[in-house]
Amino acid sequence: MKNAWTLEDLYRSIARGWLLLVACALAFAVIALGAFQMWPQKFEATAMMTVEPLTVSSTTQGTGSGVNMETERVVATSSEVLALAAKELGATTISELSDGVVVSVPKGSQVLAFTVTAEDPMTAAQQANAIANAYSERRVANAEAVVADAITFLSGRIAELETQLATTDPTSENTQTLQTQIASLQNNQASLTSTTFYSGALISPAVEPSSSTRPSLPVFVAGGLFIGLFLGSFCALLYGRRRLRASAEEPEVSEPEPVTAKRPMPGIRPTRTTPDRTTGDAKKTNWVPPRTLILGDDRLETGADRSELILPRSGSTR
Mean pLDDT value across residues 242-263 = 57
Could you read off the pLDDT of 266-276 as tens digits, one per residue?
A: 555 555 555 55
Q: What percent of the chain is modeled with pLDDT above 90?
A: 22
Which residues make Cβ contacts (< 8 Å) with residue 133, sequence separation at least 6?
85, 88, 202
Tell which wins on pLDDT, 65 or 192: 192
Delineate the domains of the chain, giving CATH numbers in brackets.
7-39+217-249 (no CATH), 43-204 (3.30.1890), 270-318 (no CATH)
As a whole number of angstroms, the distance between CA 116 and CA 101 comes to 4
pLDDT at 274: 56
| 311 pLDDT more than 70 | no
Q: CB neighbours (10 Å) of residue 202? A: 15
Tally the C-alpha atoms within 13 A of residue 234's C-alpha that lie toward its C-beta: 5
Please report the pLDDT score of residue 309 as a whole number.
46
Query: Quick one: average pLDDT of 238-249?
Result: 64
Q: Are 38 and 262 in contact (CB under 8 A)?
A: no
Query: Is this model's pTM higher than 0.75 or not?
Result: no
pLDDT at 126: 92
The pair phi, psi for residue 174, each rounded to 5°, is -65, -25
Q: How confident is the model at residue 109, as a pLDDT?
A: 87
Sheet holding 111-118, edge to edge: 101-104, 111-118, 43-50, 202-204
Question: Is the pLDDT confidence value at 245 over 70?
Answer: no
Query: In whole angstroms, what is the distance from residue 273 CA to residue 90 CA?
Result: 130
The better pLDDT of the pair 258, 159 is held by 159
> Rounded mean pLDDT of the chain?
76
From 82, 87, 88, 123, select the one nearest 102 (Cα to Cα): 82
C-alpha to C-alpha distance for 227 and 288, rounded to whole angstroms: 80
Collapsing DSSP states into helix, strand and coil, what is residue 78?
coil
Residue of higher predicted confidence among 233 and 50: 50
pLDDT confidence tier of residue 217, bands split at 50, 70 and 90: confident
- pLDDT (0 to 100) of residue 249: 58
CA–CA distance, 136 with 251 (Å, rounded to integer) = 86
Compute the C-alpha angle 62/64/66, nearest 5°: 95
Residue bearing the bigger pLDDT, 171 or 258: 171
Task: Report the range of poorest mean pLDDT among 74-83, 177-186, 221-230.
Answer: 221-230
The span from the CA of 77 to the CA of 135, in Å, is: 8
In which band, very low, low, confident or very high, does the pLDDT at 251 lie, cut at 50, 70 and 90? low
Contacts 24+ apart (CB under 8 A), 191-197: 191/57, 191/58, 191/59, 192/56, 192/58, 192/147, 192/150, 192/151, 192/154, 193/151, 194/58, 195/56, 195/57, 195/58, 195/61, 195/147, 196/58, 197/54, 197/61, 197/140, 197/143, 197/144
> In the prediction, which pLDDT does 281 show?
57
Confidence of residue 212 (pLDDT cuts 50, 70, 90): confident
Length of the chain: 318
Whether the Cβ atoms of residue 199 and residue 52 lie closer than 8 Å to each other: yes
Alpha-carbon gap, residue 142 to 164, rounded angstroms: 34
What is the reported pLDDT for 277?
A: 59
pLDDT of residue 37: 79
